[in-house]
Amino acid sequence: MSVQLWTWILVGITFAIYFGIAIWARAGSTKEFYVAGGGVSPLANGMATAADWMSAASFISMAGLISFMGYDGSVFLMGWTGGYVLLALLLAPYLRKFGKFTVPDFIGDRYYSNTARTVAVICALIVSFTYVAGQMRGVGIVFSQFLQVDISLGVIIGMAVVLVFAFLGGMKGITYTQVAQYCVLIFAFMVPAIFISIQMTGNPIPQIGMGSRIEDGAYLLDNLDKLHTQLGFNEYTNGTKSTWDVFAITLALMAGTAGLPHVIVRFFTVPKVKDARKSAGYALVFIAILYTTAPAIAVFARTNLIETVNNQSYKDIPAWFKNWENTGLISWTDKNKDGKIQYVAGNALEGAKPLYKETRGEYGEREISNPSQDKNELYVDRDIMVLANPEIAKLPNWVIALVAAGGLAAALSTAAGLLLVISTSISHDLIKKQINPNISEKNELLAARISILIAIIIAGLFGIYPPGFVAAVVALAFGLAAASFFPAIILGIFDKRMNKEGAIAGMIVGITFMLFYMIRYKTGLVGVMEPRPSSEWWLGTSPEGFGTIAMLFNVFVSIVVSRLTAKPPASVQEIVENIRIPSGAGDATHHS
């Protein structure tokens, strides 16, 4: 069967499962809609959390980033994985014990202020919409490539799928759908990795295969280093970023991960604090399966790409190349008119952007490290590496289709979680808590569903007509979360003296700094300013790492302002003391 037919079959089966779960898990109360009734088992919640957290960025983009950045790409592995550990140990149990549905709810009650709650809602909406726009665009591109439909139609199909299980089931429907989506995405990620590892090194374990010998007796990584240096790239296993920037990016990704509202809310869906800890442990194991495999896929894909494409006659190029060329995510310019593809260090674009470069290129490519050298004829968007990898390696058509189904599962699961955050921020934190406290549960549930419908439409429009600045900062959503939420949450748990004035001032300063820096140095505003060069970065800090500096500004301002203003009420200080005492500790301290 053709790849397209296999893709229709596998995507159809998986979507039928998602719809079936959504109908079975229909939410009948606000508690079921917001936190799945609080009765999800730790194992199921661990799977759902892993799917919620591993977005299209993890499934599609991360291995692609590493394949182009080499050693420098390790910041994403360290930052995103380390951030989850930070969340599991420092935040999740305490937030669960505090017992609020959402991050703005925690901030509003902890800081006894509707102003703080409103600022948190605004931050949640900025982070969530920034993040979800890229998920919807990813859905559109997967559909357009594998099902041969227009990207806009692909986005609309994705919107309709998310709408069914998010609109009907809320968090309850999303949770059990995400369990299924985790199974799909991890199977889709591992199968081609195992096949290619066997094909290239004879070892079925990709993590070990990456460091194994190939046919000529050389180590695979040594061979890739050699290929890189021959073509003028930096050695794959050597980094080019400064130590400070590596630290800044890693910390920004860690703190951002720990502050992502759609991940934090998952810890409210289990019955007890102990279950929140357990589900965090399970999730870390499930996440590690993909994260330890991504560097291996990056190495396999990079090696296969260079060996398959470089110095090959275009008329003899494999079919996969021309298929992807139609999307604009890979392009070739015959600069020396010899009919062969020359892939060397340099800028392939000659001032012309590929079709989706503006909407997909969140990071500069590794090979554009020497713009003055223009012998390079090949542009490759890093996002195609995972999706095209099975085709490059000539794997069976069903494996290629499986990867498409996995990419859709990853994008849709995260999109659903983010859309629920947007919905609950509006229906619970704005309407219920501020505008109309006496609203009935039925009407609050209706408001939540209307909010999710509006949010999906807006997210879909971002996917179909992506403003350059939105798509370019998708990965910077972590910096926004680090700059706004993380200090307010961590200080709210561990600093009794932190008051509403400090938290509000800190969040406003942090997110404002981050927005300014990434607009100024990453995206530019057409007609107003252009992105500034890296030579002008503050303290040599990249936009991806600036979340760390913005977070430190937030912490500094929060502490200074809180010390210059009145202490929080005694009742709030007592709550802060209580959430830090483990459950069941009261008896032990009493007897001692």
Per-position DSSP letters for 313-338, written without gaps between them: BGGG--HHHHHHHTTTSEEE--TTSS
- Mean pLDDT, the chain, as a whole number? 80
Q: What is the structure's pLDDT at 20?
A: 83
- Judged against a pLDDT cut of 90, whether residue 96 lies above it is answered with no
Predicted confidence band at 469 (pLDDT cuts at 50, 70, 90)?
very low
pLDDT tens digits along 332-343 = 888 878 888 888
Q: What is the structure's pLDDT at 551?
A: 95
Q: Is residue 23 part of a domain?
A: yes
Q: What is the structure's pLDDT at 168?
A: 66
pLDDT tens digits along 32-61 = 666 555 677 888 888 888 887 777 777 877
Mean pLDDT of 276-292: 87
Q: What is the structure's pLDDT at 376?
A: 81
Q: Is residue 123 part of a domain?
A: yes
Q: What is the structure's pLDDT at 85?
A: 84
**118/529 Cα distance (integer angstroms):** 30
Q: What is the structure's pLDDT at 374?
A: 67
Residue carrying the six token digits 């559909």: 143
Buried b / exposed e across 77-109, counting CB within 10 Å, b at 16+?
bbbbbbbbebbbebbbbbbbbbebbbbbbbbbb
Q: What is the structure's pLDDT at 358?
A: 36
pLDDT tens digits along 143-170 = 777 667 777 888 888 788 777 766 665 6
Mean pLDDT of 252-260: 85
User: Which DSSP letter does residue 378 get?
Assistant: E
Q: What is the structure's pLDDT at 128?
A: 80
pLDDT tens digits along 423-464 = 878 887 788 888 888 888 888 878 888 888 888 888 888 777
Q: Is residue 269 part of a domain?
A: yes
Mean pLDDT of 472-477: 62
Q: What is the structure's pLDDT at 487?
A: 93
Structure tokens at 196: 């290619």
**191/185 Cα distance (integer angstroms):** 10
Q: Is residue 259 part of a domain?
A: yes
Q: What is the structure's pLDDT at 509?
A: 94
Mean pLDDT of 96-118: 83
Q: Is residue 188 part of a domain?
A: yes
Q: What is the structure's pLDDT at 586?
A: 44
**474/360 Cα distance (integer angstroms):** 9
Contact 474/133 with Cβ under 8 angstroms? yes
Between 556 and 62, residue with greater pLDDT: 556
The percent of residues in the chain predicted with pLDDT above 70, rounded, is 85
Residues 6+ apart with CB under 8 A from 450: none
pLDDT tens digits along 56-93 = 777 877 888 888 888 888 888 888 888 888 887 778 77
Contact 487/554 with Cβ under 8 angstroms? yes
Contact 87/257 with Cβ under 8 angstroms? yes
Predicted confidence band at 279 (pLDDT cuts at 50, 70, 90)?
confident
**124/480 Cα distance (integer angstroms):** 9
The percent of residues in the chain predicted with pLDDT above 90, rounded, is 14
Q: Is residue 336 part of a domain?
A: no
Q: What is the structure's pLDDT at 557?
A: 96
**135/139 Cα distance (integer angstroms):** 6
Q: Is residue 538 part of a domain?
A: yes
Q: What is the structure's pLDDT at 132?
A: 76
Domain count, the chain: 1
Q: What is the structure's pLDDT at 33?
A: 63
Predicted confidence band at 272 (pLDDT cuts at 50, 70, 90)?
confident
- Judged against a pLDDT cut of 90, whether residue 562 lies above it is answered with yes
Mean pLDDT of 481-499: 91
Q: What is the structure's pLDDT at 251?
A: 93
Per-position DSSP letters for 393-453, written without gaps between them: TT--HHHHHHHHHHHHHHHHHHHHHHHHHHHHIIIIIIIIIII-TT--HHHHHHHHHHHHH
Q: What is the structure's pLDDT at 592?
A: 39
Range of the domain at 271: 3-303+395-581
pLDDT tens digits along 504-527 = 999 999 999 988 887 777 665 544
Q: What is the structure's pLDDT at 511?
A: 92
134-148, 241-255, 426-440, 552-566 — most confident range: 552-566
Q: Is residue 346 part of a domain?
A: no
pLDDT tens digits along 361-410 = 333 333 333 444 567 888 887 778 888 889 888 888 888 888 888 888 87
Q: What is the structure's pLDDT at 372?
A: 44
Residue 205 sits in a domain whose CATH number is 1.20.1730.10
Q: What is the structure's pLDDT at 503?
A: 94
